[in-house]
Amino acid sequence: MVRFMVVCFLFLGWAFWELSGGSDFEPTVQARAPQEVDEQPLEATDLADTVTRAATVSTISPQKDEAKAGVTLASVEAPATEPEAAPEPAALVDSVVADILAEPAETETVTTAPALDLREIVGNRVNMRQGPGTEFGVVTKLNQGAEVEVLQAPGNGWLKLRVIEDDTVGWIADWLVTSAS
């Protein structure tokens, strides 16, 4: 390692020597850039507009608040309520029957789940990733023929899938999965 460092140092020294001109090198003095001078001198009227004294600083002294907040307790009596008279049982039955007859018969609405987009893996050993790209970590590896459900197909070359066997969710390149049937 020491030999390598010595050889590198000698090579860099020789390269600097050659690039700077070698034995023909003559140092020169670099000319200074001209400084720009303001051609208009300041007039006395311009100085009158400048600030002539520093701003005064006023201090605010804290004041104690002599008024103290207090709590006033009050009590309120609940108004007396008279118990309502119990309705007759026959009146209750009539009102319930009228309510039942007035309502239309309920119809059951059966919502069918959308057809699952089931596909199979066509690659021999495919990485399922955490996101749509190879920069994301691998969640699991799937073998050829594994059944998956397509959850999302954004059209960027990747599919968000759920493995039917163990409900693992991840992303796989679309060309590694059979096309939609």
Percent of the chain with pLDDT over 90: 32
Q: Is residue 166 part of a domain?
A: yes
Provide the pLDDT for residue 30. 77
Q: Is residue 62 part of a domain?
A: no
pTM for this prediction: 0.39
Contacts for 146 with CB less than 8 Å, ≥ 6 apart:
120, 121, 163, 164, 165
Q: Is residue 88 part of a domain?
A: no
Q: Is residue 150 part of a domain?
A: yes
Domain containing residue 141: 118-176
Q: Is residue 100 part of a domain?
A: no
Q: What is the CATH number of the domain that holds 140?
A: 2.30.30.40
Interval 81-109 mean pLDDT: 65
- First-last CA distance in the chain: 64
Q: Is residue 163 part of a domain?
A: yes
Q: Is residue 162 part of a domain?
A: yes
**171 pLDDT higher than 60:** yes
Confidence of residue 128 (pLDDT cuts 50, 70, 90): very high
Measured CA to CA in angstroms, residue 115 lies from 55, 82, 181 at distances of 78, 61, 12
**46 pLDDT higher than 80:** no
- The rounded mean pLDDT for the chain is 78
Interval 46-64 mean pLDDT: 64
Per-residue pLDDT tens over the stretch 5-24: 999 999 999 999 888 888 78
On whether the CB atoms of residues 154 and 171 are closer than 8 A, the answer is no
Provide the pLDDT for residue 162. 93
- Domains held by the chain: number: 1
Q: Is residue 130 part of a domain?
A: yes
